[in-house]
């Protein structure tokens, strides 16, 4: 015979304090009564553990009498009227496998005595609910974890010609190293020749370690200021002269100069626009013009050519202190949607990565001017290693994601802000968007409360130096 289900033991004192509750405390006790009941039949249940008296109020029965009936009713509803303060615990009432399982409970009071009512649900109904919820949860987790596991790699890199900008340090260098390890021919572009040479030596070591796994692998090291359109065009030409026609452009160049909007000079705003927007747009413009004028290099499967921008989670969830940074980063995210649609004409995929804080020399520089309020809001942020970010973004690109992200928080932000952007695994993203719509109400409230506490110190014109 199947073992009957058990119902949690509930503290009566907590019920009295709460006034009306759904669940208070759960524990299991082998001494609880087990009574087999058929639906619709009357029954009585007696306590096997005598409750202690905590009141001197007169009783209709002795609470220590184990033969006293403490509950009565039908299998659809069980209720008991008790003198106030008599019971410290209510007994658990368990129906057999063919009966009803008692789940919820409510507490109400009249002028004389409290009434405790157990609402019931059939074992079949409760099992269906639990199985259904468990199934949905399992499907979501399984779909999320196996996304792309059995699908075609949408961005193979072995043997392909890839340009990575901002590749002298941080995420850009990590991306170049990762692509080289997977057999790509890599051209790295940045301004600082010394850092470029050091990064190039690391990448060459990876290529050498590949041995004969990827024959004829190439590396190009190119110094250029990509915020200048002429130098951007030259960088593309130099890369193609050394590697061949460009198949993938991954723009990682960028940097933040945090501060308050009122404290910036026009030159600060222009610097951020050049560093984060024009340095990506000029070379992307040159690359798309070149790609769209010629067929892709012949290769097995003819994988789609790609342009990949690097924006930021700040473009999806902006916070105080990044006013010069979020503008160009949000512009890249919007440009991705626009250019993606145009590039359908040319069979070129356009994507935009949105990472958070990355452990790099750029972050060290960024923290030098970052306002204390920004640091306060970012206290719980997890700073990721560039290698982790590069791997997570590449994985999502190879799974077909338009806006790759490297963390759960960034994924929630993406789900809430994606709009018409195509989504890989749209069902899971839809669930995330529902969650994000609720969660970010509280996130924004928390962030705003930190700012408002600072305002209590006085408005600018009210402060005395």
What does the pLDDT look like over 31-79, one tens digit per residue?
Answer: 333 333 333 333 333 333 333 333 333 333 333 333 333 333 333 333 3
Tokens 């110094």: give the residue.
223
Q: Compute the distance between CA of residue 1 and CA of residue 317 in angstroms, rounded to an integer.
A: 56
Sheet holding 305-310, edge to edge: 219-223, 185-190, 161-165, 248-251, 305-310, 348-353
3-class state of residue 229 by DSSP? helix
* pLDDT-above-90 percentage for the chain: 49
Q: Compute the distance between CA of residue 465 and CA of residue 457 in angstroms, rounded to an integer.
A: 13
Token couple for 366: 């960024």
Question: Residue 456: its pLDDT value, please?
Answer: 87
Q: Compute the distance between CA of residue 230 and CA of residue 352 in angstroms, rounded to an integer.
A: 24
Please write the tens of the pLDDT for every residue from 229-255: 999 999 999 999 999 999 999 999 999
List, in sequence order, the alpha helices (H) in 274-380: 279-292, 323-342, 361-369, 372-377
Which one has a higher pLDDT value, 266 or 133?
A: 266
Position 296 confidence tier, pLDDT thresholds 50, 70, 90: confident
Tokens 């399982």: give the residue.
101
Q: Is 173 part of the annotated catalytic residue set?
A: no
- What average pLDDT does this structure show over 373-381? 90
Which one has a higher pLDDT value, 432 or 250?
A: 250
Asked whether the whole model's pTM tops 0.85, one would answer: no
Q: Compute the distance between CA of residue 201 and CA of residue 180 in angstroms, rounded to an integer.
A: 12
Domain segments of the chain as ranges:
10-123, 161-415
Among 41, 329, 370, 453, the one annotated catalytic: 329
Report the DSSP pairing between strands 10-11 and 89-90.
Answer: antiparallel
Question: Residue 212: its pLDDT value, please?
Answer: 86
Q: Compute the distance between CA of residue 402 and CA of residue 400 in angstroms, rounded to an integer.
A: 6
CATH of domain 161-415: 3.40.50.720
Residue 359 CB partners (closer than 8 Å, separation 6+)? 383, 384, 385, 386
Q: Is 325 part of the annotated catalytic residue set?
A: yes
Among 277, 306, 325, 370, the one annotated catalytic: 325
């Amino acid at each position: 015979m199947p073992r009957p289900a058990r119902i949690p033991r509930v503290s009566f004192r907590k019920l009295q304090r709460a006034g009306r509750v759904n669940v208070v405390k759960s524990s299991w006790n082998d001494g609880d009564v087990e009574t087999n009941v058929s639906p619709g039949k009357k029954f009585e249940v007696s306590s096997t553990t005598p409750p202690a008296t905590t009141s001197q109020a007169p009783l209709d029965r002795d609470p220590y009498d184990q033969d006293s009936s403490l509950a009565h009713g039908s299998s659809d509803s069980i209720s008991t009227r008790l003198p106030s303060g008599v019971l410290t615990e209510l007994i658990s009432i368990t129906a057999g496998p063919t009966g009803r399982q008692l789940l919820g409970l409510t507490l109400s009071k009249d002028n004389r005595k409290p009434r405790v009512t157990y609402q019931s649900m059939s074992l079949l109904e409760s099992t269906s609910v639990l199985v259904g919820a468990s199934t949905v949860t399992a499907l979501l987790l399984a779909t999320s974890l196996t996304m792309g596991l059995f699908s075609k790699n949408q961005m193979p890199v072995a043997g392909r010609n890839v340009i990575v900008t901002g590749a002298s340090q941080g995420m850009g260098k990590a991306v170049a190293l990762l692509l080289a390890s997977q057999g790509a021919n890599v051209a790295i572009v940045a301004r600082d020749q010394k850092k470029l040479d050091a990064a190039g030596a690391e990448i060459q070591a990876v290529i050498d370690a590949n041995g004969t796994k990827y024959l004829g692998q190439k590396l190009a090291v190119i110094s250029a200021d990509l915020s200048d359109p002429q130098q951007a065009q030259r960088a593309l030409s130099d890369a193609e002269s050394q590697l061949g026609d460009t198949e993938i452009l991954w723009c990682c160049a960028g940097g933040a100069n945090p501060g308050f909007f009122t404290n910036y000079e026009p030159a600060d705003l222009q610097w951020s626009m050049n560093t984060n927007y024009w340095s990506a747009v000029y070379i992307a413009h040159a690359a798309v013009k070149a790609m769209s004028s010629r067929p892709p290099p012949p290769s097995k499967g003819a994988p789609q050519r790609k342009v990949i921008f690097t924006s930021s989670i700040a473009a999806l969830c902006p916070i105080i202190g990044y006013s010069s940074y979020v503008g160009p980063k949000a512009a890249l995210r919007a440009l991705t949607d626009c250019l993606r649609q145009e590039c359908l004409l040319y069979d070129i995929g356009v994507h935009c990565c949105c990472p958070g804080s990355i452990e790099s020399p750029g972050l060290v520089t960024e923290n030098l001017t970052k306002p204390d309020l920004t640091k306060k809001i970012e206290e719980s942020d997890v700073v990721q290693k560039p290698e982790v970010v590069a791997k997570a973004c590449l994985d999502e690109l190879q799974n077909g994601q338009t806006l790759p992200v490297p963390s759960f928080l960034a994924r929630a932000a993406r789900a809430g802000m994606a709009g018409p952007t195509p989504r890989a695994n749209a069902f899971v993203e839809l669930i995330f968007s529902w969650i994000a719509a609720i969660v970010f109400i509280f996130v924004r409230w928390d962030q705003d409360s930190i700012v408002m506490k600072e305002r209590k110190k006085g408005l600018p014109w009210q402060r005395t130096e």
